[in-house]
Amino acid sequence: MPKKNLYYILLACALIFLQLAVVGNLNFFGGRVNLTLVVLIILINLAEFNWVVTFTVVIGLLLDVYSGLPFGILTLSLFISGVTLKILFLNFFTNFSFYSLLLLGLIAVILYNAVFIFIIGLIYFIGLSDYLPGFDYLYKFLWQILTTELIMVAAYYFINSLSRKFKPVFIG
């Protein structure tokens, strides 16, 4: 079991470094890709609730370390989004279907950005931070919806093509 946990921790670190490289240096889609949300949505469909919570906290903390924002904003945004999406998945979406994945992706991007803007606005209003997203954040938000949905389509077809025996539709 400890080897499996170490493996997951290394995968989380690799995801963070990939996210930072994509957003910061490679300028892939103008830096408007949120790979952590994509992986979170896939985990919501395939993993247990405790793994989703662990993933959101670990990834959020790692992202907060490399962020210039006040510490904890990204963790709280991911945590609230992850828990809400998992509850929605358990109560309304029953399987790993194409349409549920796309709808969860759309809800994830909207919810994550809404929570992020609310927390940043609250911290700015209180006077604890100087950062307040401008009008260009809306443009990046719309691009993030598009790129997330495109990656979700590719991920769905990739996961379903892995084998004939492994079909996530039947995982429950």
DSSP letters, 13-59, are HHHHHHHHIIIIII-GGGG---HHHHHHHHHHHHS-HHHHHHHHHHH
Task: Give the pLDDT score at 26.
Answer: 46
pLDDT at 108 over 60: yes
Name the average pLDDT for the chain.
80
Task: Give the pLDDT score at 49.
Answer: 84
Task: Give the pLDDT score at 137.
Answer: 82
How sure is the predictor about 147, in pLDDT bands with cuts at 50, 70 and 90? confident
Cβ atoms within 10 A of the Cβ of 170, count? 9
| Widest Cα–Cα separation across the chain | 55
Per-residue pLDDT, averaged over 133-145, amounts to: 84
Q: What is the pLDDT of residues 48-85, one digit of tens each?
A: 888 888 888 888 888 888 888 888 898 999 999 999 99
pLDDT at 168 over 60: no
pLDDT at 169 over 60: no
Whether the Cβ atoms of residue 13 and residue 29 lie closer than 8 Å to each other = no
Task: Give the pLDDT score at 165.
Answer: 53
Q: Where are the domains of the chain?
A: 2-164
Task: Give the pLDDT score at 157.
Answer: 84
Q: What is the pLDDT of residues 2-18, one digit of tens each?
A: 666 666 667 777 777 77
Q: Which of 46-55, 109-118, 140-149, 161-170 has the lowest mean pLDDT?
A: 161-170
- The pTM for the full model equals 0.82
Q: How many residues are there in the chain?
A: 172
